[in-house]
Amino acid sequence: MVLGKTAGQAACRVCSSAGLELISTRDRRRQALETVVCTSCGLVQHAQIPTSEELAEFYSSQYRIDYNGEATPSNRRVYREWRRGRERFDALRPFIEPGDQVFEVGSGIGCNLRQFENFGCSVSGIEPGEGFCQYSRQQLGVNVRCAFLEDLADDARQDQSLVLLVHVLEHLPDPVDALRQIRQLMRPDGHLFVEVPDFGRPHAAPNRVFHYGHIYNFTEISLRNVAHKAGFRTQPVSLKSSHLPNLALVLTPDSDAEKVPMVNGYRMAVDAYHRYTPLEYHLRPAKLRTAIGKAIDHVDEFLFASSQVARLRADRPAVSTARSGNNSSPQTAMASAVCASG
């Protein structure tokens, strides 16, 4: 059931409709947070979009502690992300060749980029979280710098074969503008991999869904709407961990995509949100299977995380001065060592 109108933003950030309806007034920690759904396109979003300054402060130091419970990644988290990074590499292997340039926006620990570097790609990225960025460089030897997407506003080199946007788009204040900016980094025949939590699939109890850091909550319809408006055609990509409630698409630049009419995903979003009560959510057989799977993963992490991460650190490539750069060229500027998830 929809709660009613909101006194927040005047229009949807994607379709510009003024038809925003309030569906929640609390976040997952029962703190005040108004969330609305657009009645014209179905995009679920904060009623009040944080400013760039507020987001910069939040992501530089607070987000990882608030969301992950740690400012620097534990061995278990690194081990988990390394395996997920391998799944993403396997799924994206048809889109790259050794020597291709791969860039990641919001590179987190750096496990995704390290997988592609091991394959022979030239990798670089940005990460706003200082602790995770430093870990990426110092412990995994990944070529990243601490920065925000806005810091790349003047970069239009168009030389990236593949850009990764893994659990990042939902954090950005304007998803269409973000994708358009990323498009300027890509080769005309390049690809953009986008992975976000799937609001169309149950991934948390109804009273635990919303978070300050997740400005947007995408269904497949609303994510495709955003991609088309930004000038990308879309295709689904399957990950081995398909049991996880995530949505993954590969985007390819195509100016004709902007002509694709928006699809109204309002009913899909509202039905997905109200599909279960908190009790019904926890009593689902799928919830039990997920809990068992997580328990097995936790045992695996307990037994093997420390040794596997130690091996990753020992095998890390050096982040040399040549790789980190001195801002003398677009390539070295992107790899600068100046110190910035889903």
Reduced 3-state DSSP string for 220-288: HHHHHHHHHHCCEEEEECCCCCCCCCEEEEEEEECHHHHHCCCCCCHHHHHHHHCCCCHHHHHHCHHHH
Cα separation, 141 vs 120, whole angstroms: 15
Q: What is the mean pLDDT of residues 171-178?
A: 95
* Residue 156's pLDDT band (cuts 50, 70, 90): low
Cα separation, 241 vs 20, whole angstroms: 34
> 95 exposed, middle or buried (CB, 10 Å; 0-12, 13-18, 19+)?
middle
Residue count of the chain: 342
* Residue 34's pLDDT band (cuts 50, 70, 90): very high
Q: Does 289 score more than 50 pLDDT?
A: yes
Above pLDDT 90, what percent of the chain?
66
Q: Does 334 score more than 60 pLDDT?
A: no
> 219 exposed, middle or buried (CB, 10 Å; 0-12, 13-18, 19+)?
buried
* Residue 243's pLDDT band (cuts 50, 70, 90): low
- Torsion from C-alpha of 319, 322, 326, 327, nearest 10 degrees: -100
* Residue 155's pLDDT band (cuts 50, 70, 90): confident
The closest of 193, 213, 200 to 45, measured between CA atoms, is 213
Cα separation, 127 vs 148, whole angstroms: 7
* Residue 256's pLDDT band (cuts 50, 70, 90): very high
Give the burial string for 281-301 (b: 16+ CB within 10 Å, else e).
beeeeeeeebeeeeeeeeeeb
Q: Does 95 score more than 60 pLDDT?
A: yes
Q: What is the mean pLDDT of residues 18-43?
A: 96
The answer to whether 142 touches 123, Cβ cutoff 8 Å, is yes
DSSP 3-state of 86? helix
Q: What is the mean pLDDT of residues 193-215?
A: 91
* Residue 40's pLDDT band (cuts 50, 70, 90): very high
Cα separation, 256 vs 307, whole angstroms: 50
Beta bridge partners of 166: 195
The answer to whether 232 touches 254, Cβ cutoff 8 Å, is yes
Cα separation, 223 vs 194, whole angstroms: 9
DSSP 3-state of 205? coil
* Residue 226's pLDDT band (cuts 50, 70, 90): very high
pLDDT at 91: 96
Q: Does 328 score more than 70 pLDDT?
A: no
Stronger pLDDT, 249 or 153, i.e. the higher one: 249
What would the two tokens of residue 306 be? 């420390």
pLDDT at 196: 97
Q: Does 81 score more than 90 pLDDT?
A: yes
Strand order in the sheet with 216-217: 4-5, 20-26, 32-38, 44-46, 216-217
The answer to whether 305 touches 78, Cβ cutoff 8 Å, is yes
- As separate numbers, helices (DSSP H) first and strands (DSSP E) second, the chain gives 12, 12
* pTM, 2 dp: 0.88
Cα separation, 181 vs 183, whole angstroms: 5
Beta bridge partners of 44: 37, 217
CA of 53: how far to CAs of 30, 56, 59, 128, 303, in Å? 24, 5, 10, 13, 42
Q: Does 329 score more than 90 pLDDT?
A: no
Which residues contact residue 78 at a Cβ distance below 8 angstroms, ignoring those fewer than 6 apart? 109, 111, 140, 305, 309, 312
The answer to whether 164 touches 142, Cβ cutoff 8 Å, is no
